[in-house]
Amino acid sequence: MKPENDKHANLSELGEFGLIKMLTEKITLKNPGSLVGVGDDAAVLDYPDKQVVVTTDLLTEGIHFDLVYTPLKHLGYKAAVINFSDLFAMNALPRQMLISIALSAKFTTQMIAELYEGIYLACERYGVDLVGGDTSSSVTGLTISITAIGEAVKDEIVYRNGAKVNDLICVSGNLGSAYMGLQLLEREKKIFGSTGQQPEMDEYGYILERHLKPEPRGDIVQLLRELNIKPTSMIDISDGLSSELLHICTASKKGCLVYASKIPIDPETEKMGKEINIDGLVAALNGGEDYELLFTVPLSAFEIIGKRPEISIIGHIVDESEGKRLVTQTGSLVDLKAQGWKAF
């Protein structure tokens, strides 16, 4: 049997070119802007009359993911869509993607095939072409680097620096659930390691999926277009609500007033929080990896936005001199602090 047909073949038997062939031989390009993809020295893209929007992300085993409880297919899917989320946050549509991976000897061809199953599923679901990348060996496990390319009409791109005084601060979905899913997985990992007891997670399917298989909010971008509302600023929530709000305020040179009672938190998040003594609001403010959209819109959009169940209005933009503050459940004011994910 040829190595590329053996699901459990060693990577050294398959070789780099055999691995690339195995992972890319079924690729078909979907976007007219993808002129040449995998198979040449570089991809060729065509974007007439459009702005090109590019983002990249790096995921490292032991830092960004734990393969003890992260299925490889889920990891591949997540690695792709978190890049799509960055493009949606610019009001752009993802079109192409490049992926580079570094692998240690512990990975078989079957394991890498599972990783790419998730990547291809994400590309299929969001209409993205995989047009290139690279592979390398590693002595420290798995590293994934993805660059995603999107398109947007010049006047439709949304930046972080456009928030105006009195703009409404809005978020999609709910917050804190991905962080609680991570806490659940870490807890069960410790219990299994010390006692051998099998994990008990059946009642927490939602928060587990939010951590292991997040969905970027392209639907919100499409909804806002249908409502004829262009956000004045926008960012995706990867590092926690407080950090992202501060990014917008700093870039826009504005302050904010956010109401704790308005921040959307799922009941499953609250339930898990009570089990491990972490307040759901703390998870929403500082947890990260929700990949929801945080954006501002003019006050004139209140009647329209206020009727959408997918969106919550959580506060408004104020003058920079008024600070960046949270109104607690009891009505007191506290300064927002960036306490989310720190890379170093």
Q: What is the dihedral of CA 267, 268, 272, 275, to 10 degrees?
A: 60
Q: 10 Å Cβ neighbour count for 106?
A: 11
Q: Is residue 343 over pLDDT 60?
A: no
Please state, for a pLDDT cut of 70, what percent of the chain lies above it: 87
Instruction: Please report the pLDDT score of residue 7 as a whole number.
Output: 56
Query: What is the per-residue burial (b if ≥16 Cβ within 10 Å, else e) of 224-255?
Result: beeeebbbbbbbbbbbbbbbbbbbbbeebebb
Q: How big is the CA angle at 136 (ends 103 and 14), to the nearest 5 degrees?
A: 75
Encode pLDDT of 91-124 as tens digits: 999 999 999 999 998 898 899 999 999 999 999 9
**Mean pLDDT on 85-96:** 95
How many DSSP H helices and E strands does the chain contain?
10, 13
Instruction: Please report the pLDDT score of residue 44 as a whole number.
Output: 64
SS (H, E, C) 251-320: HHCCEEEEEHHHCCCCHHHHHHHHHHCCCHHHHHHHCCCCCCEEEEECHHHHHHHCCCCCEEEEEEEECH
DSSP label at 64? T
Q: Which two tokens stand for residue 195?
A: 């006692």
Q: Measured between alpha carbons, how far is 67 from 62 in angstroms, rounded to an integer?
A: 8
The conformational region for residue 126 under phi > 0 = left, psi -120 to 50 = alpha, else beta, is alpha
Q: Measured between alpha carbons, how far is 216 from 126 in angstroms, rounded to an integer?
A: 10
Q: Measured between alpha carbons, how far is 170 from 278 in angstroms, rounded to an integer?
A: 24
Q: Measured between alpha carbons, how far is 34 from 37 in angstroms, rounded to an integer?
A: 7
Among 38, 27, 255, residue whose Cα is nearest residue 132: 38
Encode pLDDT of 60-79 as tens digits: 999 999 999 999 999 999 99
Q: Is residue 321 over pLDDT 50?
A: yes
Q: Is residue 180 over pLDDT 50?
A: yes
Encode pLDDT of 221-277 as tens digits: 999 999 999 999 999 999 999 999 999 999 999 999 999 999 999 999 999 999 999
Beta bridge partners of 150: 53, 94
Which pTM was predicted? 0.88
Q: Is residue 288 over pLDDT 60?
A: yes
Q: Which domains does the chain have, with CATH numbers?
A: 3-156 (3.30.1330.10), 160-335 (3.90.650.10)
Instruction: Please report the pLDDT score of residue 194 as a whole number.
Output: 75
Q: Measured between alpha carbons, how far is 247 from 95 in angstroms, rounded to an integer?
A: 26
Instruction: Please report the pLDDT score of residue 65 as a whole number.
Output: 94
Helix (H) / strand (E) containing 238: none
Encode pLDDT of 116-155 as tens digits: 999 999 999 999 999 888 888 888 899 999 999 999 998 9
With contact defined as beta carbons under 8 Å apart, do 146 and 77 qualify?
no
Round the average pLDDT of the chain to a whole number and report it. 89
Q: Measured between alpha carbons, how far is 104 from 167 in angstroms, rounded to an integer?
A: 49
